[in-house]
Structure 1
Amino acid sequence: MRLGLVANHLHHSHPKAALFRWLHRCETGIRELNLGLHTVGGTHDAIARAGCLTNYPALRRYPSGHEGGLVKLVAGIVGAVASNEVLDGAIYLVNPVDGSSLFPEALALKRQCIVHQKPFLSTVASACDWVEIERIRAGMKPDDGADPLHAMPSQTIAMIAHDAMKAPMMAFADKHFDLLSRFAFRVATGTTGKSLNELARKHGWPEEASWVTCYESGPMGGDAQIANLIFERRCQRLLFFENPHVPHQHEADIQLLERAVAATTDDTVCITCPASAIRWAEAAERRARLRPLRVDYVAGKD
């Protein structure tokens, strides 16, 4: 497998920056998976200076962003490149207060990942989670260090789906209802939440209890409400099935939600398309069978 990799300067400017936190946590898994990392120039150079992934042949350098490196990543996601340059997803560690995250290349990278149903990993937690999921899918034993990411009995999951994506969200929740029910709390926006509660009744969830806590619809402030939960570290995983083909009247609220995710990079996993959600759910179920967690497990503590 191959991922594009780019980190904003903030995230590789010092030894404890986000890029290096991810590499230190996941270098063993990266090598086990023989994961190809097609890396934009400045990010690649920072990795080399830090002495990470030494003698790792699957680390490849692209031009810097302003010289077309990000455009090459977008082309790799789309697939309009040589077979050895096709990418299975992208890691883009964004500085939430840097306008470069809104450059056309950055927006196109995210959009094409969603269009082509490939993971767009914008946080350290998301990138760590992805490595663990792919390890499990490859038949490897669970990594103890990934346990906090899978401490569902102490976590909240948020589920958001734009209109055209509500049917895929319902299908996903129907198939993986038991997995989603392991979370301590579930929250959702507007119509999505109401539909999820109706689905829960069909699965035998008690009539007197809501399976999902419903917030406002996105245009009426639901995205902002969930962003607030994320900023307060009260929501650890976000399923956000976004429709990239239509403009949204509440785009500012969506950007606020994305900024909340980026600002809590070590604490929030964000999954941006149904295909990625399915891969996560199948591997999470397998991992839970291999390594059951105590019900009283608290994320980050044991």
Structure 2
Amino acid sequence: MLLGLAANRLHHRSDDAALFTFLRACEQGIRELNIGFHAVGRTYDAIAAAEMLKGHKGLVRYPYGREGGLMKLVAEVVGMPDEGRVLDGAIYLTDPVDPSSIFPEALALKRQCVIHGKPFISTVASARDWVEMERIHAGLPRDRHADSLHSYASQTLALIAHDAMKPAMLEFAAANFELLSRYGRRVGTGTTGQKLNEMAWSKGWPAGTLWVSRYNSGPLGGDAQIADLVLEGRCQRAIFFEDPHVARQHEADIQLLERAVTTKTLDVVCMTSPAVVQRWCDAAVRRA
């Protein structure tokens, strides 16, 4: 596996920064799985200065972001097969108040990951969770240090889908109903929440008992309401099926939710691609 790797300045400027927290937690898994990284300049330099991933041949330095490093990662997510440059996804540890996090290349990196069904990983919790799930798929024993990410009974799961993705969300939730029902609470926005409740009742969930607690629709502030749960530590995982092809009137609200998730980088897992989420579900069932 080969991933793009970048981290905003905040996330590698101190010993306890997010980039180093991720690498300390997952270095063994990275080596076991032989995960390669195309790391943008300053991110690579920080890893080298901290003497992490020493001797790992899969770590390759790319240009600084200002010299096009992040742009090259976008092209490789799409795929440059004639040159042997194809990424399986990207880890971009985002500082939500760093202006570079909304530069075109940063937004395009996420968008192309979603379009091509590849993981876009923007928090430490998401990165740790992804490595653990890939370990499970590889037949490796569970990492007990990752158990806190899978204590579903004490966690809240957000299920959100844009209009064109609502059928995919319903199909996904129905196919993985037993796993999703292990969560202590599920929340959703507007129409998606109602449709998910109707699906749950058809599956035998007690009639009149909500499977998903509904908040407002996205345009009426539902994304902001769920962002508040994230910021208060009352939502630990978000499954967000985004439609990357349509401009949305409430784009600011969507970005607000994404900023809330990256603000809680150590604690919240966010997944945006149906293919990636299904792969997580398959591994989660095996891990349990």
**Coarse TM-score class (shorter-chain normalised):** over 0.9
Alpha-carbon RMSD across the aligned residues, in angstroms, is 0.7
Q: Is the 8 A contact 1:227 1:257 kept in 2?
A: yes
In the alignment, what sits opposite 1:297?
none
In the alignment, what sits opposite 2:18?
18
List alignment gaps of at least 5 residues for structure 1: 289-302
Identity %: 63
In the alignment, what sits opposite 2:104?
104
In the alignment, what sits opposite 1:291?
none
Q: How far is the alpha carbon of 1:99 from its aligned partner? A: 1.2
Counterpart check, 1:128 vs 2:128 = yes
Counterpart check, 1:187 vs 2:204 = no
SS at match of 1:228: helix
Q: Distance in 2 between matches of 1:252 and 1:175?
A: 31
Counterpart check, 1:151 vs 2:151 = yes
Q: How far is the alpha carbon of 1:114 from its aligned partner? A: 0.5
Q: Is the 8 A contact 1:75 1:81 kept in 2?
A: no
In the alignment, what sits opposite 2:222?
222
SS at match of 1:85: coil
Q: Distance in 2 between matches of 1:66 and 1:133?
A: 33
In the alignment, what sits opposite 1:294?
none
Counterpart check, 1:197 vs 2:197 = yes
Q: How far is the alpha carbon of 1:6 from its aligned partner? A: 0.1
Residue type matched to 1:223 in 2? D
| Per-residue deviation, residues 167-205 of structure 1 (Å, max 9, x unmatched) | 110110010000000000000000000000000011100
Write out the 4+ residue segments of structure 1 that deviate beyond 6 Å after TM superposition.
none
Residue type matched to 1:15 in 2? D
List alignment gaps of at least 5 residues for structure 2: none
Q: How far is the alpha carbon of 1:83 from its aligned partner? A: 5.7
| Per-residue deviation, residues 4-34 of structure 1 (Å, max 9, x unmatched) | 0000011000111000000000000000000
| Per-residue deviation, residues 229-272 of structure 1 (Å, max 9, x unmatched) | 00001000000001010101001101100110010000000001
In the alignment, what sits opposite 1:262?
262
Q: Distance in 2 between matches of 1:84 and 1:138?
A: 24
User: Aligned in 2, Cα 1:83/1:235: closer, same or farther, shift over 3 Å?
Assistant: farther
| Per-residue deviation, residues 142-184 of structure 1 (Å, max 9, x unmatched) | 0000100000010000000000101110110010000000000
State TM-score, norm by structure 2: 0.99
Counterpart check, 1:166 vs 2:169 = no
Q: Distance in 1 between matches of 2:154 and 2:163?
A: 30
- Give the count of matched residue pairs: 288
